[in-house]
Amino acid sequence: MGKPSKETMVKMYRTMVKIRKAEEKLMEVFSKGDILGFLHVSIGQEAAPVGICSHLADADYIATTHRGHGHAIAKGIDLKLAMAELFGKKDGYCLGRSGSMHLADKSRGIMGANGIVGGGIPIATGAAFAAKYRKTNQVAVSTFGEGATGEGAFHEALNFAAIKKLPIVYVCENNGWAEFSPHSIHMSIQSVTQRALAYDIPAVSVANNVLEIYEEAGKAVERARQGDGPTLIEVRSERWHGHYVGDAQKYRGKEKVEQAMTKDCLLDYEKELLQTNTLKKKDVEKINAEIGAEIEEAVNFARECPYPEVSEMMKGLYL
């Protein structure tokens, strides 16, 4: 697998910018009350979804979490339709029924974000089971935080995937905080890789660096496609914001938040691309401007879409 091509490197940068800017915009519109319910952003964690999804085709599957905008964008979700869903509009992916915590796009293998911590892990494992059952050569990816690894769903899924050698990659974004509590409340081990090893699943822990993640994900996806079974990748990332937007993080302390914010996987990658002359300053500016415009367009689209009719609420429960 090795290093990404220049084209892939630039594409990965574009996608990371897209996730960052989309979520910054979401925070802005959420604070104005344009988006209802809860909003969980992944700012500071853009490297993992991009590093992983760069190896996936539309036909491959991904099931994600309540903090799942990044994965959906990295898997290629249509930003306009996604934004419409977040705004609760009729043209959204889920007909405006579900919002941020349930973004799904079947045409791109996005099996849904999930409002239940750990809920998506066995579902993604089921997609891997289906791929193996039908001998399609598809791969499934399951993403979750370290907090989810305390759930039975995580253990039951990994055990089964290991026994059946299912084509799946488990990606744990360990951002140090599970909802409102630190790592030490949730586990006595230092790394989630230890949990995978207990099921005889190869596991690796990487820094929050898109190129490192890309490399390890490449190996893991290849293993899965070859029929060699699951792999777990732990990404040691940072959560810049609270569990949800609006969470003042009093449990964490201002200093620690500021410290986390000094570690910026997007800025680090941008610097690297500039230093290696993969991109020039003006390319970076151009990409940022283009993405900014694309996001504005998506937000405007979402704003103009109608809400679903009340009469539509009762439609489609049963086939």
Q: Which of 11, 14, 25, 102 binds other proteins (CB under 8 A)?
A: 102
Nearer to other proteins, 135 or 281 (CB): 135
- 112 is an interface residue for other proteins by CB under 8 A: yes
Enclosing H/E stretch for 223: helix 210-225
Q: Which of 10, 27, 29, 95 binds other proteins (CB under 8 A)?
A: 95
User: How many binding residues for other proteins (CB under 8 A)?
Assistant: 44
Nearer to other proteins, 136 or 300 (CB): 136
Q: Which of 3, 6, 106, 271 binds other proteins (CB under 8 A)?
A: 106
Q: Which of 88, 119, 167, 230 binds other proteins (CB under 8 A)?
A: 119
Within 10 Å of residue 69's Cβ, how many Cβ atoms?
A: 26
- 213 is an interface residue for other proteins by CB under 8 A: no
For residues 122-158, b (16+ Cβ closer than 10 Å) or e, as one string? bbbbbbbbebbeeeeebbbbbbbbbbbbbbebbbebb
Single-letter code of the amino acid located at 66:
H
Residue reference for tokens 């029924």:
97
In whole angstroms, the minimum distance from the beta carbon of 109 to other proteins comes to: 9
Q: In the range 1-30, which residues lie near other proteins by CB under 8 A? A: none
In whole angstroms, the minimum distance from the beta carbon of 139 to other proteins comes to: 12
The CA dihedral of 22, 108, 92, 44, to the nearest 10 degrees, is: -20
Residue 224 to residues 2, 148, 281, Cα–Cα distance (Å):
17, 22, 38
Nearer to other proteins, 159 or 205 (CB): 159
In whole angstroms, the minimum distance from the beta carbon of 156 to other proteins comes to: 3
User: What is the dihedral sign for C-alpha 140, 51, 49, 143?
Assistant: positive
Q: In the range 133-192, which residues lie near other proteins by CB under 8 A? A: 133-134, 140, 152-153, 155-157, 159-160, 163
Q: In the range 27-86, which residues lie near other proteins by CB under 8 A? A: 61, 63
- 104 is an interface residue for other proteins by CB under 8 A: yes
Residue 305 CA, distance from chain mean position: 26
Rounded to an integer, what distance in angstroms lies between the CA atom of residue 270 and that of residue 253?
29
Q: In the range 298-317, which residues lie near other proteins by CB under 8 A? A: 316-317
Q: Which of 126, 167, 229, 242 binds other proteins (CB under 8 A)?
A: 126
- 111 is an interface residue for other proteins by CB under 8 A: yes
In whole angstroms, the minimum distance from the beta carbon of 216 to other proteins comes to: 24
In whole angstroms, the minimum distance from the beta carbon of 97 to other proteins comes to: 6
Stretch that binds other proteins, among 41-49, 124-132, 189-197, 231-239 (CB under 8 A): 124-132
Within 10 Å of residue 292's Cβ, how many Cβ atoms?
A: 15
Torsions phi, psi for 22 (to 5 deg):
-65, -45
In whole angstroms, the minimum distance from the beta carbon of 84 to other proteins comes to: 11
Enclosing H/E stretch for 234: strand 231-236
- 98 is an interface residue for other proteins by CB under 8 A: yes
Residues in contact with other proteins by CB under 8 A are 61, 63, 92-95, 97-98, 102, 104-106, 111-112, 114-116, 119, 121-131, 133-134, 140, 152-153, 155-157, 159-160, 163, 316-319
